[in-house]
Structure 1
Amino acid sequence: MEPLSFQEYICSLDPTTLPRILRICSGVYFQGSVYEISGNECCLSTGDLLKVMAVALQEVICEDTETGQTMELPPTFKGEQGCPIPARTQWVPSSQGNLCSPRRLSLIVPQGPFLDGSRQQGLTLHQALGRWDGRPQPLLCPTIGPHALLLHPIYEVHAAMHLRRDVVKIPSTLEVDVEDVTEEAQDVHFARPLLLSEVLGMEEALPAQAEILEGPAGPAIFESAYGRSHAWRVLASAPGSGRHFLLSSTYQGWFRRRPRQFVGVQELAASLQPGRQLRVVVTQDCEGQGNDVPPLGMGDRLEVRGLQGNGPSTRLLCHCHAGEEEEGEELRLPPDLGGSFVEEACASKKYRLAELLERQPLPCEVRVVAPDPGLERDALGALPALRLEARLDQPFLVGSFCEEPEEGFEIPPQWLDLSLLLSEGPIHPPAPCTHRSRVEEL
């Protein structure tokens, strides 16, 4: 077909024939330009293809053929009682009728056969627009005025474009020329990019090869996505160094707990866990408070038993062993009491990561006493202390670069939701090794 203006094509389009594929021929949107159309950024270059999926009437501009003045009619306007009066452009309707009269809006063809050879036929607004033959048809509407009217519909076109995630919404008044290439473009595939978070839920389509379209700065690269990783993670930090790490539950190193340190009775109370004992040693002399709270001396051992009372009368119940005393005494310490304490902990027992988290609430400080033997270099083994901050259960996606298919990595879509284009057809690569993902420095 010959190229048509976008407006002319859309107005003459039969909705029952959708979808239709159009090629951009020419227009004010020259090649390489990017515009924002109805809230969507869209690049329309000469030669681009559009797959028109739906057309929605937005409004109708009604033009008086004698005066040239216009008014807007909403798509739902029927000229019935209670309808809002459409916006006008310096045009007062004649006394022959009122737009909100009880009568139904009737558009009449003044001349020429339009329906079954009839010279005059009452039509609704949508019926009149449905008889578009390539150019506006002069019509009469006694409720608006005595002159012939031209209706100029404005549509919102919903279309798919290559490498566009969302449906593009384009006004029919876009000043471009198009041609219908539906018949010769039957085999054209409009590729839709996917987010990494979407790929995570498509395990039946994995493994697959994918091209990264949008992500961190750098050239586009290819990767193979294999599926969801079922490992959980632990966020960790190296105290005093500013370094942070992400540990996988598959980490095979051994940990040893480091005694926790507490400043003040308030921290002791906050660290209590149901069913867990807490024993500490006083590391700094602390003054008492009157006759009810005796002073604490460096080396005193406290067994923290729990809180008593409510509000201002709240006290931390402890059993104190001072020096060589065997029986000790019961103490009721106020939360605002200072002091410095260190936890009494067994320094010889070693734990795997999962066992450690079962026994020890986070955050806690540990030391790696045996690095992961599966890692060429375990950065955690050289740290004097490691603080385990929190457990993370977000899903990760296992992938690898095509240049190194045997070296795998795991990507968290919640933090790095890349835009991908999956290749067509299945691939059957061997599952990559993900040892590198056991410890990652952030």
Structure 2
Amino acid sequence: MNCLYKVVADKTPYCSIQEITRKFSIGPTRFGHPCFYSPEDIKLANFTIKHGEQITFNSVEEVNGMMAVNCGVVRNNQPHSFTFPLSQEGIFYECEDDQIYTLKEIAEWKIPKCRNRIVKLSNSLHTWDSSNPLPENFDGCLILTPVYEVQAVMKFRKDIVHILSDLDVEVKDITDCYDINSFLQPLSLEDVFERTSKEFPMVAEIMEGPSGSQKPYNILNTGKEIVIYKKYQATRVLASEIRSDSPKRHFLIPMSYKGKFKRRPREFPTAYDLEIARSEKEQLHVVATKAFDSPHKELFSVSVGDQFLVQQCQTSEVLYEGRKKLVDVLACEQILSDTYKKVLLPMYMEGGFVEVIHDKKQYQLSEICKEFPLPFNVKVSVRDLSVEEDVLAAVPGLQFEEEITDSYLLISSASSPVESWEIPVYRLNMSVHLLSKDVQTIIPPVTKTTVEEISEEQYYMVRRYENQTLHPPPRPPKKPATPPSKPSFAVPKEGFSDVLQAPKVRYHTLSLNLLQS
């Protein structure tokens, strides 16, 4: 199922820290930090946790000879760390989670052992096609029930064997009779990335290759030997195709992209968006595409075709329900036939504006990221001649959304290392096993970078964690007196009339691949 989900907090309490550590996967990744709260104050030796305060469980470690959980709370924007002994008793409830997850992530990290998990489809990625088992426009909750499966490797086979948990067999432990090194050890790209930098470069054989016709995916075939030179973080620009209908194509563009871009007009639905896009480099020039009647005589009413130069945000006094009130406004200069007129637009104004472009210059990708705030609209004016096919050149318009930093491995073919490639660690489903071979040359051949087209699901996975603290604040309400409504993802109190039993999530105790039963 090509969907993302929000996790509904479990209403059943946990009675001790040890119970939580047994039920939840607590680990170093961002998924392995479950959050709980206590309905009562908890007094520790030198710290008191207030009731209702969100407690983040970070890791389980041995402290002074006893197993304990490293935890943290954020109070007045200041983090506070402390430890809970596993013997700590009390009532703990799971906190609400506003993140979105794939089924694989939920199965691996978010389903407590011996419990089910209720989830709700996220509006971020809610597409329906004929292969989707859910009813079209379904807006209820799902109950996910895990079905366990073991993945195993055999001594004289390179493929992975799948063993169902309900298989009626007897198992005998013969670990002491065999050398574990004689078995192949499948590693995901995440496993390889967790190796220390001193262990690189290394030679590996591909056990399960990825699918895809684009290089380098089409050369990563099962059984092929590759050299993995190093691991590192690299910058990409996340871009989306500009089009009115869906689905849109999404791309991750490396900073080494050699094509050139020309600017395309941006569209702004509100005056608030104009304030966000305003920059010191140049004055923003826009044309109104939608009329707006101001409810206050002190503020300007907009007609279709009105042109403005955006100046700055300020406050203005207006008469509201018989009383004077200060509101946020956007100061602009209206462009008339032979003069300029200063006007004030309410910041909450829901209208429509399109940018007027006076700049005809062609830009490199790095220049745009340096000189202009994102998001930014462009079109490829000169394609990248260093690649056989530039996928961006055929796109009528692109919106550069944000710069991201992602994890990559640098690889080449072991048999013919003519060129090396960057492969993403978290978006490539691929397993390898390491070979005890020496690398002929430590210096990698010339590096080829590609524009990576990503799926809708991968797009939201990239965006949800990138620069969360740097995102602009939410838009103000459309009218001053209308407070924003808060969406609720709780399960209805009256029962589970809209809850369906989802296809059982089958996940493995080793690699945790998802299958639909």
Q: TM-score, normalised by structure 1?
A: 0.52
Q: Deviations over 1:256-306 (max 9, x none)?
A: 222211123233234345x45542222436344253233334142222311
Do structure 1's residue 223 and structure 2's residue 236 form an aligned pair? Answer: no
CA RMSD after TM alignment: 3.7
* Per-residue Cα deviation, 1:378-408 (whole angstroms, up to 9, x for no partner): 1212322111122221121011334653243
Alignment of 1:125-144 (within 5 A): none
* 1:280 matched to 2:274: no
Question: Paired residue for 2:250?
Answer: 244
Unaligned runs of 5+ residues in structure 1 are 1-159, 166-173
Shift of 1:238: 1.6
Q: Is the 8 A contact 1:164 1:192 kept in 2?
A: no
CA contact (8 A) 2:257 2:384 kept: yes
SS at match of 2:272: helix
Report the equivalent of 1:352. 364
Give SS of 1:388's match.
strand
Partner amino acid for 1:212? I
SS of 1:395's equivalent in the other structure is: strand
Q: Which amino acid aligns with 2:189?
A: L
Compared with structure 1, are the counterparts of its residues 192 and 320 closer, same or farther at alpha carbon in structure 2 (3 Å cutoff)? Answer: same
Separation in 2 of the partners of 1:263 and 1:176?
66
Quick check: 1:257 aligned with 2:250?
no
Q: From the superposition, tell whether residues 413 and 287 of structure 1 become closer, same or farther in structure 2 (CA, over 3 Å).
A: closer
**Cα contact 2:197–2:231 (8 A) shared by 1:** yes
Matched, 1:415 2:435: no
Q: Tell me, yes or no, if structure 1 residue 314 matches structure 2 residue 327.
A: yes
1:31-110 alignment runs, 5 A limit: none
Counterpart position of 1:94: none
1:263 and 1:393 mapped to 2: Cα distance? 29
Distance 1:227 1:175, change over 3 A: closer
Partner of 2:349: helix, strand, or coil? Answer: coil
> Contact 1:161–1:190 at 8 Å: present in 2 too?
yes
Q: Distance in 2 between matches of 1:179 and 1:424?
A: 23
Q: CA deviation at 1:418?
A: 3.7
Q: State the one-letter code of the partner of 1:286.
A: A
Q: Which residue of 2 aligns with 1:210?
A: 204
Q: Deviations over 1:219-238 (max 9, x none)?
A: 44432212135531112222
Cα drift, residue 376 of structure 1: 1.9
Distance 2:312 2:172 in 1: 79
Question: What SS does structure 2 have at the residue aligned with 1:250?
Answer: coil
Residue in structure 2 matching 1:234, options 232, 237, 244: 237
> In 1, distance between residues paired with 2:369 and 2:389?
24
C-alpha contact (below 8 Å) 1:223/1:399 kept by paired residues: yes
In structure 2, runs of 5+ residues without a counterpart are 1-152, 161-169, 212-220, 455-517
Aligned residue identity for 1:256:
K
Matched, 1:431 2:437: no
Deviation string, structure 1 residues 347-390 (Cα, Å, up to 9, x no partner):
22222212211222222211111122211221212322111122
Match of 2:307 in 1: 300
- Taking structure 1 as reference, are residues 202 and 426 closer, same or farther at Cα in structure 2, changes over 3 Å only? farther
Task: State the Cα distance separating 1:181 from its structure 2 match.
Answer: 5.9
Q: Is the 8 A contact 1:207 1:428 kept in 2?
A: no
Please give the alpha-carbon distance, in whole angstroms, between the structure 1 residues aligned to 2:262 and 2:399: 12
User: In structure 2, do the counterparts of structure 1 residues 189 and 324 end up closer, same or farther at CA, with 3 Å as the change threshold?
Assistant: same
Identity of aligned residues (%): 29
> 384-393 or 332-341, which moves further after superposition?
332-341
CA pair 339-192 structure 1, distance change in 2 beyond 3 A: closer
**Structure 2 vs 1, CA of residues 242 and 317 (structure 1 numbering), >3 Å: closer, same or farther?**
closer
- Asked if 2 retains the 8 angstrom alpha-carbon contact of 1:318 and 1:332, the reply is yes
Aligned to 1:382, the other structure's residue is in SS state: coil
1:388 aligns with 2:400: yes
Q: What aligned pairs does 1:362-401 form with structure 2 within 5 A after superposition? A: 362-401=374-413
Residue of structure 2 aligned with 1:197, choices 173, 176, 190: 190
Report the structure number with the largest CA radius of gyration.
1
| 8 Å Cα contact 1:406-1:431 kept in structure 2 | no
**Structure possessing the higher relative contact order (Cα contacts under 8 Å, 6 or more residues apart):** 2
Partner in structure 1 of residue 417 of structure 2: 405
- Please state how far the C-alpha of 1:332 moved relative to its aligned partner: 2.0
Between the aligned partners of 1:219 and 1:287, the Cα distance in structure 2 is 61
Q: Distance in 2 between matches of 1:250 and 1:384?
A: 21
| Distance (Å, rounded) in 2 between the aligned partners of 1:393 and 1:276 | 26
